[in-house]
Every structure is written in structure tokens, then in C-alpha cells.
Amino acid sequence: MNTIADIARLAGVAKSTVSRYLNGGSVSEETKKKIEIVIAETGYAPNAFAQSLKAKKTNIIGTIIPRLDSYATSRTLIGIDERLRELNFHMLVSNTNQDLEREIENIYTLAKQKVAGIILLATQITDDHLKAFKQINIPVLLVGQQHDDVYSLVHDDETAGYAIGKYIIQRGHKNIAFLGVGEHDIAVGVNRKKGVKKAVADHDDIDARFFETTFNMSEAAIRAQSLFDEFSPSALVCATDNIAIGAVKAAYQKNLRVPEDVSITGFGGYEVTAMMHPSLTTVQIHFVDAGRTAASHIVKLVNGEDIPKLTYSNFEIILRESVDIRTDHPI
């Protein structure tokens, strides 16, 4: 492996000149040529550590994620990675396995590794988070959750919840169940539910009930079964596609036809929802795009440029087979 000293010697110039050449400083055409040739011959590549030691900064963006085996996460990472690469940055992924302590820990660790910025696919923001953000003095961007004190990129969960609720109501459903997750998750647990609630609040002839489960498909299936025992909805709005997949399974097990006996909707737009039988009507969130935007934003912050404190990413409702028109629901 060659060092800058080797290149300088071979090119017959000083190290500082080579460094200047490398970093776009002023170097005469002639000197430029000489250095170029030597670098091409030797295949020289600067030592990133030595650079970082001086610069005290890297071109790495640390991305903290709660879990790896999630469609939303992996699609978002793809977008971040893609865009970061275009901007000449690298992505360092740090998985917390849904452990909040590890999330805080990771913020400090990434700071120690001198990442240029941090993207946090957050599930909740605690005081410890805010303290860490203050202390590390590195740009941070939240994705999927919003907090007034931090730059945030959120899927517009409440509006999306409102839209899918409205759609279900327009299709004539009056007995509507919502199967969500706990309120510790602001985006999924609180906002999506809030949107649906708002939609049903617009009408006074609707019996809407709200249930809770986890993000796990099998647990959602079990919860949906007992839900079908307690309440007989004509439509079941689910807070994620995985929950919806579990609910469809539960319907089969209860001998309920989808959508004839019960309509079911998802949230996310996972690829597999198009392949199910019946295919799932769902709210599609553009995770890859969101990831790309997140990458653009964090790099802007790194470069000292301004971005809006809060950005919304887009969604759309994909109409498929799992929702039926209901003019009169037989209880």
C-alpha cells in the first residue's frame, strides 16, 4: 500500500502538493500531470483514517434502525443507500433489535465514530434521545416519527388513516373495526388510529371499535380471531399489512369470506399484498422515496444547508379485492 509520501517522492513533489492536488487546491498543470501518472500507476488510494483523524469528520451517515426484518425498514434503507451513494456518502447501518437502550447507546457510538450525520428510523422519542442529540452535536434526522425539536420526515399517517377510513365508509360500511398497535408507537399506534377515528367521527351512524395487537403476524391473527368473536365488523382496517395478513388468515379460520363477509385493509403496500387471495386493498407508503428524501436531507444538514423542520412523504390508496361494497350490513 502506497502513502502520500510515496506518491510525492515518485512524482518529485512535496506531500503537501499531492494533498492539494487530491483536494482540489491550486496546482500547476504540469505538476498535476506528474502526480496523475504516478497515482494511476500505483493505484494509490488515501488512507481514510488519516484523513478522518485530521478532518474529524467522515462521509459516513449512520442509520439506526429498530429491526432488520421489516419491509418498511428495508425499503427505506434501499432509498437511503441509493441516494447517499449518489451524493458520495456511505451508509452505516446499526440495528437496535427494538431495544430502546441500545438505540441511545448507538447514537453515542456513531458520534464516537464521527459519522457526519445520523438518520434514525424511530419508534418513539424519549428525553434520553433528546439529551443524546444535544450532546453529540451532529445533525440528526428522524424518519417515521416527528418531534418538534428534531428534523423529521414522516409518513403522513394521520391523513392516510383518515383517507382509508373515509374510503371504507364510502363503500357503505357501518360496523368498522380497527386493529392497531400500542400507543408507544406514535406514528403507527397513535396517528393512524387518530386518522381513522376522525373519519368515523364525521358520521354519526357508524359503530367503530378499536382493538390492539402487536406488529407480529401470528399474534395479529390470534387477536383478529378473538376480535371476530367479540364484534362482527363488516370491515376491518388494519394498521399494517402484516396485521392485515394475519387478519385474513383469521377470517379463513373463522370461515368468514373476504370480502363478502368482512372487508379487510392493510397499511404499507408490501409486495406480497398484491399476491394474496384476495389481493389486499392497502395504503401504500413510498418507503424508497422517503429513504431517498431522508438521505438528501441529512446531507444538506451536514453541509450546513437548511431544510424544513418537518417533511411529509406521500402515500396512496391501492384499491384491490379485499374490500366489498356494503349497502346494508346484516349483523
> Per CB under 8 A, does 295 bind a copy of itself?
no
**Angle at alpha carbon of residue 287, lines to 283 and 292, rounded to 5°:** 150
71 touches a copy of itself by CB under 8 A: yes
Q: Do 142 and 164 contact (CB within 8 A), yes or no?
A: no
Q: Scanning the structure block, which residue is given the C-alpha cell 363503500? A: 171
168 near 323, Cβ under 8 Å?
A: yes
Q: For residue 70, is it left (φ>0), alpha (ψ between -120 and 50) or beta?
A: beta
CB 276 within 8 A of CB 245: yes
Judged by beta carbon, residue 128 or residue 207, the one nearer a copy of itself is 128
Q: Which three cell numbers stand for residue 197?
A: 377515528
Give the total residue count for the chain: 331
Residue 101 binds a copy of itself, judged by CB under 8 A: no
| Beta carbon of residue 54, minimum distance to a copy of itself (angstroms, whole number) | 9
Cis peptide bond prior to 278, omega within 30° of 0:
yes
Nearest to 143 by CA among 267, 307, 316, 313: 313
Q: Least distance in Å: CB of 26 to DNA?
A: 2
Count of chain residues binding DNA (CB under 7 A): 29
Residue 57 Cβ, how far from DNA at the closest point, in Å? 9
Interaction between residue 1 and DNA (CB under 7 A): yes
Q: Whose Cβ is closer to DNA: residue 28's or residue 255's?
A: 28
Question: Which CB atom, from 160 or from 217, has the smaller least distance to a copy of itself?
Answer: 217
Partner whose binding site includes residue 274, from a copy of itself, DNA, none (CB under 5 to 8 Å by kind): a copy of itself
DSSP string, 132-199: HHHHH-S-EEEESS-BTTBEEEEE-HHHHHHHHHHHHHHTT--EEEEEEE-TTSIIIIIIHHHHHHHH
d(CA 221, CA 218): 5
**Of DNA, a copy of itself, none, which one sits near residue 16, judging by CB under 5 to 8 A according to partner kind?**
DNA
Piece of 21-29, 68-76, 81-89, 195-203 that binds DNA (CB under 7 A):
21-29
Taking CB under 8 A as the rule, does residue 112 contact a copy of itself?
A: yes
Position among 33, 36, 41, 53 found at the interface with DNA (CB under 7 A): 53
Does residue 276 belong to the site contacting a copy of itself (CB under 8 A)?
Answer: yes
Alpha-carbon torsion 11, 14, 15, 16, what sign?
negative
Minimum CB separation from a copy of itself for residue 277, in Å? 5
5: contact with a copy of itself by CB under 8 A? no
Query: Phi-psi category of 145—alpha, beta or left, where left has phi over 0 and alpha has psi -120 to 50?
Result: beta
Q: How far is the CB of 51 from DNA (least distance, A)?
A: 4
By CB under 8 A, tell whether 133 contacts a copy of itself.
no
Minimum distance of a copy of itself from residue 112's CB (angstroms): 5
**Helices 241-253 and 217-230: angle between axes, nearest 10 degrees:** 50
**What does the binding site for DNA look like in residue numbers (CB under 7 A)?**
1, 3-5, 12-17, 19-20, 22-23, 25-28, 30-31, 44, 46-47, 50-51, 53-56
**What does the binding site for a copy of itself look like in residue numbers (CB under 8 A)?**
45, 47-50, 52-53, 67-71, 74-75, 77-78, 81-82, 90-95, 97, 112-114, 217-218, 221, 245-246, 248-249, 252, 271-272, 274-277
